[in-house]
Amino acid sequence: MKKFLSFFLFLTLLFGAHGYPGAVFLMIWPSARPTSLGGNFTALADNPSATYYNPGGLGLLKNRLSAELMHCNWLPGLTEGLDISMYYEFLALTYKTDEIGTFGFNTIYLNTGETEVWNERNELLGKYTTFDVALTFSYGYPILHNLGAGLSWKFIYSYLVADWVWKAMPELGIEAGGTGITWAFDFGLLYKPFNWFSFGASLSNIGPPISYIAGSEPDPLPRMLRIGLNFSPVKNENITLNLPIELNIGLVEKADTTTSELEDMWKSFGIECRFFDNLLSLRLGYFEDVNGWRGGVIVEDKNGEQDCISIFEYLFNRKGRKLIRGERKVSIPFTWGIGFSYKNFSLDISSDELIYSFPTTNYKFSFTFRM
């Protein structure tokens, strides 16, 4: 149980900038392309992963049918030294009709590995595998030729502790629990008033809280408001340049009330260069979740002590100027990715491993088909 409890606590703290929600797997970025841009996709939302980031994008999709499959061996550095292998899967489908809009579907599956259960006498009682699943059904409609609106409904199932554990370990004082079930809605808008500019907004995970143990206080879902802009200063047959910017605002009551709303926001921006009708794409992203110690600007003094600060703090205020003068080492952990397209097929590869405070790898591979 110690192995399981420590891992679940880490997940809670990992996304702690938004308070302490349940079903934290819903906050993990699916799809390689958005991940390479720092999880920044609300104002783009032009492929099947729009079913996750912004269902409003479904209303403006051009392809009749599209599908995306992603695989990721998730954060192997987190379980180094343990006999645990975690992986994250994402499947998304969209179908555009002639008159009634676009329908979409996605499923997220996070397998967090096998857990061994030991009692106080150091006896192995058994093993079980923990996992999380979300099934999402989406619909988008073009209110105007350049304005799409969308709605999603999702079913959420989180399996954290097997029922037999409580019976095998009555000393825990818990009779049942360990499985959480709930549902939620997402809403989204995507507006493209100009060929070179788009605006997106989405509201995610609006639904009842999730409870794992009967009689305990339920945990709120990771409700989130995403607001994004995308600028495309270059757009022709040979090259398209996208410059997306995004803010993610957590709508769960904060556990730490000493931080400001601006500090709690997730902030990201990206650069995407697509060459020769999307034959090749190069991407770079910046992301910061300072309170969760992910991304941001990492400063290290001569004693090896590190701090994680916002890029705005680093560049523009007094503390930032002091750090520039006094610190010996400054690093910015970027996300990155590359994409290849040929006719109806695309392959995208990304990594966000540098934004974490521990050494790991975290490659995502997405395969997309469209027609």
Please, what's the b/e burial string for 46-76 (b: 16 or more CB within 10 A of its CB; e: otherwise)?
bbbbbbbbbbbbbbbbebeebbbbbbbebbb
Contact by Cβ (8 Å): 199, 211: no
Quote the pLDDT of residue 13: 41
11, pLDDT greater than 60: no
Quote the pLDDT of residue 260: 66
Quote the pLDDT of residue 319: 58
Indicate if the alpha-carbon torsion angle 196, 348, 223, 108 is positive or negative.
positive
pLDDT, one tens digit per residue, over 110-141 is: 999 888 888 888 888 888 999 999 999 999 99
Q: Which residues pair with 300 in a beta bridge?
A: 306, 329
pLDDT, one tens digit per residue, over 336-364 is: 999 999 999 999 999 999 999 899 999 99
Quote the pLDDT of residue 2: 42
CA distance 57 to 139: 10
Lowest-pLDDT range of 79-83, 189-193, 319-323: 319-323
* Three-state DSSP state, 370: strand
Within the chain, where are the H helices? 2-14, 32-36, 50-53, 163-168, 261-264, 311-316, 318-326
Per-residue pLDDT band at 240 (split at 50, 70, 90): very high
Q: What pTM was computed for the model?
A: 0.91
**Which helix (H) or strand (E) segment is 9 a member of?**
helix 2-14
pLDDT, one tens digit per residue, over 43-86 is: 999 999 999 999 999 999 999 999 999 999 999 998 877 778 89
